[in-house]
Amino acid sequence: MITRLSLWLALAAFPVFFAVELLLRLAVPGLPALLTLLASMMLLGAFLLLITVGLIGVTKVTVCALADYFSAQRRAQRRLWFIQARHEQIGRLFYFKKMQMRYAYELNRKRLLMLNNRKHIRSLSKTIEQDLRAIKTKLPETAYRQLQQDHAHHRNRQNIEALLNLQQKIFSLLSA
């Protein structure tokens, strides 16, 4: 409504300016200056009215937005969103912490398994050495040297299956 009024004032100022131009051509004294002042005031009033309405509208929207932002419902909604985001963050943190613990557990398990394998290889190697010493006199020198080389080779490569096979081979030679 007020916008229409300002537009009508602006549009009404133009015929007054046209009348001023006509009076100036007719050489009427004093009246064109008064009408120019009237038309200028009408145009200025229209623009001031339009600017005032715009500022009032912006202020009204801003106040409504601020009131809505600080309302209890919006605060509760923001709090709920915060709690949901925090819950998701804790869930992700828990998942990554669990993965980190699994990784550390697996590394530790592999390390202990490797140490255990080394211990068993050492004890198996000692047993094989004792068995080789026991059958040294029963075997030819080349066969004995070959068994020693096989033993050293499999021990250095940490090959448990080959060492067990070698022990079985030596055991069969012992029992024969």
**pTM assigned to the model:** 0.50
- Tens of pLDDT along the chain (176 residues) come to 777 877 777 878 888 888 888 887 887 787 888 888 888 888 888 888 888 988 999 999 999 999 999 999 999 999 999 999 999 999 999 999 999 999 999 999 999 999 998 999 899 899 889 888 888 888 888 888 988 999 999 888 988 888 889 889 888 877 76
> Which two structure tokens, joined as six digits, stand for 102?
């699994």
Distances (CA, A) of 4 to 29, 40, 163: 34, 18, 103
